[in-house]
């Protein structure tokens, strides 16, 4: 991400701290500050930062009500909203956790260091690797084809079919980071383990229109889960052809998997796929893994500062 400046304003829109601004000189933030403040305060209730494009810049902003501080990050237009929002979310969390001095001003050294660290951490988020696992004919390849031919998600740029594995890069969108998908064919089964162990997570496909295959799917999933504690979601696929009444509840009980991880999808039309991906990437992979790593590093850094 190309972050140009990060600024914190107090209640009277006075700038209390800023990072060194690189390339944001034309950005007349004071003009749009009242609008940003209103949006940030409204959004704050939903507990998630906003991202916004104005002129030649992207902005993300949020409000820390406990400290009456408005946070504004300014980035170049080519910076992904996902990353920008994630950056601000982490920055907010860090400022909320750390005390500000008596005059209510954040130390600019601490602020600059924190922002630098968070940019590095957020930049390490993309290039997620997601494996597509499941029995033959469960819909893994259709998932890949659907995205490419129908372009339900903008940004897929390559399709490399092989008999063994399809590797498809997704360039990222406003909601999702870059992802490399591994669609592993059955002939490649003995190598699933290798790909999956190098993955950030996986989608496990189940053909719920074929009730005879569900037990075999259950066994395979158990085998995989016994092997790795990787984030995953379940694609309960072919809902268009299923006679099962409530597939999510049915599979949750059958597979001993929390119901929130089960998504009803129809890979042949794309139904449910975007929500499934967002859930896997944002709730399961990023939030649990990257986010805790960032906080851990920030804490370690603050502790070592306190010792000095
Ligand atoms: N009815 C229905 N059929 C589907 C759906 N998704 C995939 N299929 C079909 O299921 C078959 C196997 O799909 P494929 O993606 O090749 O499975 P893979 O072996 O897991 O890669 C194909 O004939 C697909 O057309 C779906 O959502 N509904
Ligand atoms: Mg296939």
Question: How many angstroms separate the CA atoms of 154 and 148, rounded?
Answer: 9
Structural tokens at position 304: 């070592």
Atom of ligand 1 nearest to the CA of 145: 15
Distances (CA, A) of 107 to 24, 128, 296: 21, 34, 21
In the chain, what's the furthest Cα-to-Cα distance? 68
Partners of 182 in the β-ladder: 131, 167
State whether residue 163 is helix, strand or coil: coil
pLDDT tens, residue by residue, 166-206 = 777 676 676 777 788 888 776 666 666 666 667 889 999 99
In this prediction, residue 264 carries a pLDDT of 97
Q: Is the pLDDT of residue 294 over 70?
A: no
**Comparison of pLDDT for 46 and 224, the residue scoring more:** 224
Task: Tell me which ligand sits closest to the C-alpha of residue 207.
Answer: 1
pLDDT tens, residue by residue, 68-121 = 889 999 998 877 777 788 899 899 988 888 766 544 457 888 889 999 999 988
Could you say which DSSP state residue 272 is in?
Answer: T
Mind giving me the DSSP string for 202-270? EEEEEETT-GGGHHHHHHHHHHHHHH----EEEEEE-GGG---SSHHHHHHHHHT--GGGEEE-BTTTT
Instruction: Say which CATH superfamily domain 3-101 falls into.
Output: Dynein light chain 2a, cytoplasmic (3.30.450.30)
Task: Tell me which ligand sits closest to the C-alpha of residue 266.
Answer: 1
Task: Give 278-281 contacts, CB < 8 A, sequence gap 24+.
Answer: 278/175, 278/176, 279/233, 280/130, 280/201, 280/203, 280/231, 280/232, 280/233, 281/128, 281/130, 281/176, 281/177, 281/179, 281/201
Q: Is the pLDDT of residue 284 over 60?
A: yes
Distances (CA, A) of 117 to 52, 80, 206, 261: 23, 18, 40, 31
**Comparison of pLDDT for 295 and 258, the residue scoring more:** 258
Q: Whose CA is nearest to atom 2 of ligand 1?
A: 238
134 C-alpha to center of ligand 2: Å? 10
Alpha helices in the chain (DSSP H): 29-44, 81-97, 108-123, 140-145, 189-197, 214-227, 247-255, 273-278, 291-307
Instruction: Say yes or no: do domains 3-101 and 128-287 share a fold.
Output: no
Q: Whose CA is nearest to atom 14 of ligand 1?
A: 139
147 confidence band (pLDDT: 50, 70, 90): low
Q: Give the range among 137-141, 142-146, 151-155 with minimum mean pLDDT.
A: 151-155
- Specify the fold of 128-287: Rossmann fold (3.40.50)
Rounded mean pLDDT of 207-211?
95
The pair phi, psi for residue 165, each rounded to 5°, is: -150, 135
In this prediction, residue 38 carries a pLDDT of 84
Residue written as tokens 């993309």? 126
Structural tokens at position 144: 């890949």
Q: Is the pLDDT of residue 43 over 50?
A: yes
Rounded mean pLDDT of 14-33?
85
Taking all residues of the chain, what is their mean pLDDT, rounded to a whole number? Answer: 81
Mutational test site, ligand 1, from 131, 137, 148, 264, max ligand atoms within 8 Å of CB: 137
In this prediction, residue 155 carries a pLDDT of 39
In this prediction, residue 150 carries a pLDDT of 40
Rounded mean pLDDT of 204-225?
94
244: nearest Cα among 231, 256, 253, 257: 253
Go through the chain and tell me how many residues it has: 308
Q: Give the range among 95-99, 206-210, 296-300 with minimum mean pLDDT.
A: 296-300
The structural domains of the chain, with segments of one domain joined by +, span 3-101, 128-287
186 C-alpha to center of ligand 1: Å? 14
Rounded mean pLDDT of 282-293?
73
In this prediction, residue 122 carries a pLDDT of 84
Question: What is the value of pTM for the model shown?
Answer: 0.59
Pocket of ligand 1 (CB under 6 A): 134, 136-142, 205, 237-238, 240-241, 266-268
Q: Is the pLDDT of residue 156 over 50?
A: no
Q: Give the range among 33-42, 72-81, 179-188, 222-231 with minimum mean pLDDT.
A: 179-188
What residues sit around ligand 2, an ion, with C-beta below 5 angstroms? 140-141
Q: Is the pLDDT of residue 308 over 70?
A: no
Residue written as tokens 């930062």? 49
Question: How many angstroms separate the CA atoms of 72 and 54, rounded?
Answer: 13
């Amino acid at each position: 991400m190309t972050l140009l400046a990060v600024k914190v304003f107090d209640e009277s829109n006075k700038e209390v701290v800023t990072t060194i601004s690189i390339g944001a000189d034309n950005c007349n933030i004071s003009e749009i500050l009242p609008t940003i403040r209103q949006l940030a305060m409204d959004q704050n209730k939903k507990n998630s930062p906003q991202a916004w494009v104005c002129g030649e810049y992207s902005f993300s902003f949020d409000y820390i009500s406990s400290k009456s501080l408005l946070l504004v990050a300014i980035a170049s237009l080519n910076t992904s909203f996902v990353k920008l929002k994630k950056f601000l979310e982490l920055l907010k969390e860090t400022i909320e956790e750390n005390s500000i001095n008596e005059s209510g001003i954040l130390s600019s050294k601490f602020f600059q260091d924190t922002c630098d660290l968070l940019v590095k951490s957020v930049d390490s988020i993309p290039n997620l690797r997601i494996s597509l696992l499941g029995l033959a004919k469960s819909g893994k390849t259709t998932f890949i084809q659907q995205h490419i031919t129908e372009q339900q998600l903008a940004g897929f740029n390559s399709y490399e079919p092989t008999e063994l594995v399809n590797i498809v890069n997704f360039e990222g969108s406003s909601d999702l980071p870059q992802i490399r998908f591994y669609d592993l064919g059955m002939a490649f089964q003995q190598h699933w383990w290798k790909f999956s162990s190098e993955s950030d997570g996986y989608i496990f496909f189940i053909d719920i229109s074929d009730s005879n295959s569900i037990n075999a799917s259950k066994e395979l999933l158990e085998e995989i889960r016994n092997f790795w504690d990787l984030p995953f979601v379940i694609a309960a696929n072919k809902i268009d052809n299923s006679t099962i009444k409530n597939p999510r509840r049915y599979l949750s009980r059958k597979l001993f998997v929390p119901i929130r991880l089960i998504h009803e999808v129809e890979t042949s039309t794309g139904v449910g796929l975007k929500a499934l991906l967002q859930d896997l990437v944002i709730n399961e992979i990023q939030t649990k893994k990257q986010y805790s790593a960032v906080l851990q590093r920030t804490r370690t850094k603050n502790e070592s500062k306190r010792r000095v």
